[in-house]
Amino acid sequence: MEPLTGMGVLALMGAAATIAGASEDLESDVGSQSNPNSQVQLAPQMMYPHRIYNKAISGEPPSNALICAIGGTVATVLMVTGAAAILALIVGSFVAMLVHGTYSVTPYIGRSASQKRFKQPIYLDIIRSHTPVIMGFAFITTFCILVISYLMISALGHPFPLPLLAFIWGIAIGAIGSSTGDVHYGAEREFQNFEFGSGLNAANSGNIVRKAESGIRNGIDNSWFCAKFGGPATGLAFGMVVFLSGWITVVFDPSISDTLGWEAIIAGVVIVLILIAFNRKIEVDARKRYGPYKVDDEEVGA
Amino acid sequence: MSAGGGGGGAHAAIPQNNLIAFGVVGGLVFIYAAYFLVQIAGPYMSFLGALGAICGIVWGASAVRRVANYGLGTGVPSIGMLAIGIGIIATIFGLAVGGIIGPILAVIFASLIGLVVGFLGNKVLNMGIPIMVQSTTEIAAAGAITIVGLSTSMAGTFMFFDEVVNGLTVPGVATTVMEPGYIAVIFIMGALAILHPYNANLGPDEKQDRTLACAFEKGGIAMIITGIVATVTPLASGTVTIVVGVVIWYVAFSEYYKRVKRDAYMISGAGLLPSKEELE
Amino acid sequence: MIDIVGILADNILTIVLITLGGILISLGVHFVPVGGAPAAMAQATGVGTGTVQLAAGAGLTGLVTAGFMMNVTDNMGLIIASGTIGAMIMISVTMLVGQMMYVYGVGCPPASAKVKYDPITKDRQDLYVSQGTEGHGVPTASYISGIIGGGLGGLGGSMIYYALLSIDNGLPEAKFIGIASIFAVGLFFVNAVIPSYNIGGTIEGFHDPKFKRFPNAVLASFIATFLAAIMGVVAIGGM
């Protein structure tokens, strides 16, 4: 393939991945999923009932893999019957979105009902207002993942079938979303009532913020906050993963010769080394700027 | 996800042994009924395979409920993914070598690997969960039934390889389900249908019948998607599968919501948080 | 009917490669710094997600790059190297952006509570742990450890995939790519869950005392993968 076409396809994939990452993270913030949700689950037990969605479908990777695999499957079925790719991908994402809607409602009502002794009510207006938002974000995520997978297969010649490739990217985006953007929701947004600049003291577990700028806080308020940093950063992460892992083989095309293939591997190693250096720089910077929390007892004693 | 459960056995109205029987017998009977009736009565009987899968899903969800109640240290989903991973390995093997006894072989080998992994978990990894061995065996076998059932419903047969019958090539599971990648959706739908119900109802006031109603509901969704795939496979018919799936989903969701209403502290259309006096 | 013994005898090397791949995945998970649910609240060092999830995300990204490479070349070294590097890129990007989240979003420096000095940079750790937490962020030792772990996972996953696709059963590869890849995925999950039970769901990396437990998980993975390898080879070899 023409290297220039490859770069164009890759740029499109990277852009789609960035959108997918951001929408995935915001979807999990509206619904409160994955690890930060453990605090939402804990709060009623600590006498803090709340009006926050409790979308405990599973961890984010399986639930995103589900919607992406369903989208890929329905799209493949439609393409087998001769539908145009773009229509097939949209209908596939639509079906996935509907399934995601039912998967979101069951844990909210189920987990709230299982907290009867802590007097956690079920709010129907929360279901009515949040579920469409969750479904909308799920549609965007699924559609972008399907675009990435479809481009990989049709333009870059990847051998995996569409449902399987979409499934794997679903696992990957869920893993990235729960590792990056969720921290912003879990460590900062849920505990804004505590001083900025430290981790959550274990003694404050479950004491999540329940009052909003106006009224009582809900998941949509949380996504508003996380859209400022957590969501875009997740998009950046997933976009980088898709772009960089494809970039090395598009620039150094292994189908021309094995030597170029090895150069692709070397390019990958260089990228990893740069990332290590970048991480170290952030670490040193943070330590210098923020300083230690405690005084060194040994030095004081001496 | 947070680790669930307060330790100790889960209270159950329906004994687990009944659910094991329901899963194994119901699952296999439906799968074989689908296989034979498709040949006798026509492709529209392929929906029976998905009913077999639902038996497996309900059984698996119940087994997850029992073992996850002990707190696994890694949350509920991990054991579901483990089981379905074992299930897919055993299913590919069982169907490939078994021919007509393929589904039975798949269940046996899934139980075998599940048994080994459960035993290793307790003896080598020192997890110390009393029902670990039995539960991994059960969940893996339930995963295998789910995968075989959904595959049968998609393909109209559980024969792995293409067969030539009366001069016509009848595509097997390998061609219709594995090669186009539909196995990926079976994998993850089965995994979530088994692990989601308990995860979705986690909490001190969890009730077995509510969790199992949720399992039926997720089984209905898996059946609908299976039906969508079956519309393009030659030996299976999708319409009946989709319609039955929608009916099961609707009935199960209504039953689930009924139990939520029964168990919830309060269902409110809109409103403020419970007051301080209420909480005391 | 399938000639089981014949297939096994012809594919001993394949079984060895698959078993080795499973062991590598299992070992790799021990390197991945994962703090579980507490890390998402900056209460524990490591990435704020589950072990299985992060390892699977990285390893399967490696599987995608290996699958692409396998399509254009037969060079085994190149295929498993691309699987390794794909997984390494995924996990290093994820940890880097996660780190930014801790530093700029939460405002705490990376610190480990398990060791007093970072074994790689020799930086003092205990003073930078905020009150009431078990550390937060991804210090350099954990970062390097995570890259090793992700790489091992990608290496193992692509090795399994390569071994399964190299089985000679007279069919074109395109016919059983679906089976080989879903089999690799299934095996990946089994081998990612076993070590995460071993470490109780959280670990900081190779400097964590829990890391010493890895032989148990490797033994368990060896047995489970060996059984599965036989099954996979028979199923695909008999096609």
SS (H, E, C) chain C: CCCHHHHHHHCHHHHHHHHHHHHHHHHHHHHCCECHHHHHCCCECCECCCHHHHHHHHHHHHHHHHHHHHHHCCCHHHHHHHHHHHHHHHHHHHHHHHHHHHHHHHCCCCEECCCCECCCCCCECHHHCCCCCEEECCCHHHHHHHHHHHHHHHHHHHHHHHHHHCCCCCCCHHHHHHHHHHHHHHHHHHHHHHHHHHCCCCECCCCCHHHHHHHHHHHHHHHHHHHHHHHHHHHHHCC
Q: CA nearest B3 in C: which residue?
A: C37
What pLDDT is attached to residue B4? Answer: 39
Q: At what angle do helices B132-155 and B76-98 cross, to 10 degrees?
A: 60
Most distant CA pair in chain B, distance:
78
User: From residue C12, how far is each of C16, C170, C229 by CA, in Å?
Assistant: 6, 18, 10
What pLDDT is attached to residue C70? Answer: 87
For residue B266, how many other CB atoms are within 10 A of its CB?
14
Residue B33 belongs to domain spanning: 16-264
B107 assigned to some structural domain: yes
Q: CA nearest A267 in C: which residue?
A: C85
Tokens of A21: 């990452």
B6 assigned to some structural domain: no
Beta pairing class for B163-165 and A122-123: unpaired
B271 assigned to some structural domain: no
The yes-or-no verdict on residue A138 having pLDDT over 60 is: yes
132-161 of C, contacting A, C-beta below 8 A? 132-133, 135-140, 143-144, 147
Residues 6+ apart with CB under 8 A from C173: A159, C165
List the beta bridge partners of residue C203.
C34
What pLDDT is attached to residue B77? Answer: 79
- Whole-angstrom Cα distance, residue A138 to residue A96? 8
SS3 B168: strand
> Which whole number is the average pLDDT over C232-237?
87
Query: What total number of domains does chain B contain?
Result: 1
Task: With cut-offs at 50, 70 and 90, classify the pLDDT of residue C56.
Answer: confident
What pLDDT is attached to residue B7? Answer: 40
Average pLDDT, chain A: 91
Q: Burial level of C217, CB count in 10 A (0-12/13-18/19+)?
A: buried
Q: Looking up tokens 């046996």, which residue turns up? A: B108
Check A261 against C82: CB less than 8 A apart.
Answer: yes
- The ranges assigned to domains in chain A are 3-234, 252-291
> Which whole number is the average pLDDT over A20-47?
91
What pLDDT is attached to residue B5? Answer: 40
Task: With cut-offs at 50, 70 and 90, classify the pLDDT of residue C143.
Answer: very high
- Whole-angstrom Cα distance, residue A114 to residue A107? 10
Q: Where are the alpha helices (DSSP H) in chain B?
A: 16-21, 27-41, 47-68, 76-98, 102-123, 132-155, 173, 182-200, 208-230, 238-263, 276-279
Contact C34, C56 (CB under 8 A): no
What pLDDT is attached to residue A62? Answer: 92
Say how many residues make up chain B: 280
What pLDDT is attached to residue B261? Answer: 93
Check A163 against B76: CB less than 8 A apart.
Answer: no
B250 assigned to some structural domain: yes
What pLDDT is attached to residue B125? Answer: 83
Residues 6+ apart with CB under 8 A from B41: none
225-244 of B, contacting A, C-beta below 8 A? 225, 228-229, 231-232
Cα dihedral C45, C48, C53, C57 sign: negative
Q: What is the pLDDT of residues A224-277, one digit of tens each?
A: 999 999 999 999 999 999 999 989 888 888 888 888 889 999 999 999 999 999
Higher pLDDT residue, C69 or B7? C69
Higher pLDDT residue, A300 or A113? A113
What pLDDT is attached to residue A157? Answer: 87
Residue B209 forms contact with A (CB below 8 Å): no
What pLDDT is attached to residue B2? Answer: 37
Average pLDDT, chain C: 89
Q: Which of A45-54, A86-95, A209-218, B229-238 is the most confident on average?
A: A86-95
Q: What is the pLDDT of residues C22-45, one digit of tens each?
A: 999 999 999 999 888 888 888 889
Which range (B4-13, C5-14, C79-88) has the least confidence? B4-13
Beta pairing class for B163-165 and B168-170: antiparallel
B236 assigned to some structural domain: yes
Higher pLDDT residue, B228 or C170? B228
Q: Subunits touching B (CB < 8 Å, at least 3 pairs)?
A: A, C
B48 assigned to some structural domain: yes
Higher pLDDT residue, A131 or A254? A131
Higher pLDDT residue, A105 or A214? A105
What pLDDT is attached to residue B166? Answer: 74
Residue A220 forms contact with C (CB below 8 Å): no
Per residue in B100-112, is it b (16+ CB within 10 Å) or e — as a string? eebbbbbbebbbb
The yes-or-no verdict on residue C235 having pLDDT over 90 is: no
The yes-or-no verdict on residue A122 having pLDDT over 90 is: yes
Tokens of B191: 């995994």
Q: What is the pLDDT of residues A163-212, one digit of tens each?
A: 999 999 999 999 999 999 999 999 999 998 888 888 888 888 888 999 88
pLDDT along chain B (280 residues), means of 10: 43 83 93 92 90 95 87 72 90 89 93 91 82 90 95 90 78 88 93 92 90 94 94 87 95 94 89 80
Q: What is the pLDDT of residues A273-294, one digit of tens each?
A: 999 999 999 999 999 999 888 8
Q: Burial level of B207, CB count in 10 A (0-12/13-18/19+)?
A: buried
Min Cα–Cα distance to chain C from A232, Å = 11
Whole-complex ipTM: 0.93
CA dihedral C141, C146, C148, C153 (to 10 degrees): 160
Check A255 against C73: CB less than 8 A apart.
Answer: yes
CA dihedral B252, B253, B255, B261 (to 10 degrees): 160
Most distant CA pair in chain C, distance:
67
Which residues of A fall within a CB distance of 8 Å from C124? 292, 296
